[in-house]
A = this chain, B = another copy of it.
Amino acid sequence: MGEDTEIPLPDKEQNFNDWYNEIILRAELVDLRYGVKGFIVYRPNLATVLKQTYRLFEDALDEHGHSICNFPVVIPLEFFQKEAEHIKGFSGEVFWITKAGDSELDKPLLLRPTSETAMYPLYAYWIRSYRDLPLKLYQSNTVYRYETKATKPLIRGREFYWIEAHDVHRTFEDAVNQVKEDMEITIDVLHNQLGIPFLLMERPSWDRFAGAEHSFAFDVLFPDKEVLQIATTHLLGETFSRAFDIMFEDEDGTKKYGQQTCFGIGISRIAATIISMHGDNYGLIIPFHVAPIQIIIVPIPKKGKSELILEKCEEVYQKLKDKGYRVKLDNSENRPGAKFYHWELLGVPIRLEIGPKDIENGVITTFRRDKRERFQIKESQLIKTIEQLRGEILNELRSRREKDLEENIREAKNKEEFLEIAKNKGGFIKIEFCDGNKCAEVIKEETGGYEVRGKLFGKEEKTMGNCIICGEKAKSIVYVAKAY
């Protein structure tokens, strides 16, 4: 902890971009001086959030019958070339290794942009019989894409942290259920542990993952009213199992292709979402489940009482640590005000302040970072109160963001209304749509980049009228937004 500049942050609502660019540096989340475009350094304050987020998803995947595995970061050319659509989708953006030591490689290797073509040749070896199914594996890794669009830290880069799960099922129905399970896992972590609301969309046909039959995606709303895709699950069907020869002998002796799904959880992007959604003008607010420090204890000094105070702080520290909380006692020499400022900037969800009066009265002064409220709790009720607070804080964070999301979904009855909202409001715009890529292109052009994000999944929304762009009979209700 150095001396923080106590210059206010840019206003988050008014000027989100400046706020974001400032907070990621001031809270020491990343360093952008690594010297290779699109590659950034994750500093401990962020890397710890990443680690915790990985563990939440890994535990959830394990709980649902997935197993972890590790495939190499390099993919041999002959693996990569097996599925035509997939190559078309990715070959323009891969990094090539052509040399090792002093010698040129006979065949170049590529850094994985995603691992379908690394994993599926092995799946073909492993799967022989229906008894080998389902096969449900995931990797916690990094992938590499030579992005030519402008990069933005944690949101769009050339190296990103994610989890990718790749499953093979016996029947198409099982694969469909797998996609639903992937959704449940994502919803559970985002909603119940991170307080992140989202729209779950089925992507239009022209925006599917290269090789997928159906693509579903979790879109979140950023404070600047643009949206970000943070997780996707794809029904691959037999596209890859045919290309990679993933076949099994079914119970009746017939040979069949495996029914596949894949599932990506953007851990870097979820970190960006945590920062952007929950933060405020005082800095970060990190959800309790993934906070590097969940509870910070600040002694309030008083002459002649310092020993007594420190003793009590250490007692409280030990009590919380024994309960498994990530707790820190800040007994540095800074004044309490500087400590408050610092730990608020870093988003520690709960602060305990312990001074002579607290000790005298058997209480602890408690500060909730989300509401910035200070109140007293009984020391004897400490653990119980913390248990309760963590739930309340999560609910508060989530309901704030749910309100945002709700307020930023607007219906446009015609093109004029649509363009007006796109120009002045942003967020999601709900329209009647013909499902045509041409109309999607018109939208993009006339709005400077709005995209058809797809239909809402899991809720039937019936169309009554015509496409607001071309006037033909509408086929679905879609959500349109400007995306990162």
**Chain A contact residues, CB within 8 Å of chain B:** 2, 31, 33-36, 39-44, 47-48, 50-51, 58, 67-74, 76, 78-79, 91-102, 108-109, 111, 118, 121-122, 125-126, 129, 131-132, 137, 142, 144, 146, 148, 159, 161
Contact = CB atoms under 8 A, between A and B. Distances in A.
Given A41-B71, A44-B69, A44-B137, 7 more contacts: A2-B129, A34-B72, A42-B71, A44-B68, A47-B70, A94-B101, A98-B98
Nearest 3 CB-CB pairs, A to B? A44-B67, A42-B70, A96-B99
Contact of A98 (B33, B78, B96, B137): B96
Given A69-B42, A73-B73, A132-B2, A146 B36 contact: no
Nearest to A33: B125
Nearest to A2: B131
A99 B93 CA distance: 10
A82 to B, nearest CB: 12
Given A44-B68, A68-B47, A131-B2, A31 B125 contact: yes
A472 B286 CA distance: 65
A101 B92 contact: yes
16 contacts: A31-B122, A34-B72, A35-B79, A36-B76, A42-B70, A44-B67, A51-B68, A73-B142, A73-B144, A93-B100, A94-B100, A94-B101, A95-B99, A97-B98, A100-B146, A101-B148
A106 to B, nearest CB: 11
A67 B93 contact: no
A159 B101 contact: no
B97 A102 contact: no
A75 to B, nearest CB: 8
A142 B146 CA distance: 20
Contacts of A131: 2
Contacts of A94: 100-101
A262 B69 CA distance: 28
A1 to B, nearest CB: 8
Contacts of A34: 71-72, 76, 118, 122
A139 to B, nearest CB: 8
A70 to B, nearest CB: 4
Nearest to A292: B67
A99 B98 contact: yes
A67 B92 contact: no
Contact of A78 (B35, B68, B91): B35
A351 B93 CA distance: 50
A153 to B, nearest CB: 13
Contact of A47 (B43, B69, B125, B159): B69
A303 B94 CA distance: 60
A48 B121 CA distance: 21
A48 B31 contact: no
A97 B95 CA distance: 7
Contacts of A91: 101
Contacts of A36: 72, 74, 76, 109
Contacts of A73: 73, 111, 142, 144, 159
A110 to B, nearest CB: 9
A159 B73 CA distance: 8
Contact of A74 (B39, B71, B129): B39
A63 to B, nearest CB: 10
A154 to B, nearest CB: 12
A31 B125 CA distance: 10
Contacts of A97: 95-98, 111
Nearest to A125: B33
A307 B96 CA distance: 58
Given A41-B71, A41-B72, A41-B122, A101 B111 contact: no
Nearest to A119: B41
Nearest to A135: B44
A161 B70 contact: yes
Contacts of A100: 93-96, 146
A76 B33 CA distance: 12
Contact of A101 (B102, B122, B146): B146
B41 A70 contact: yes
A72 B125 contact: no
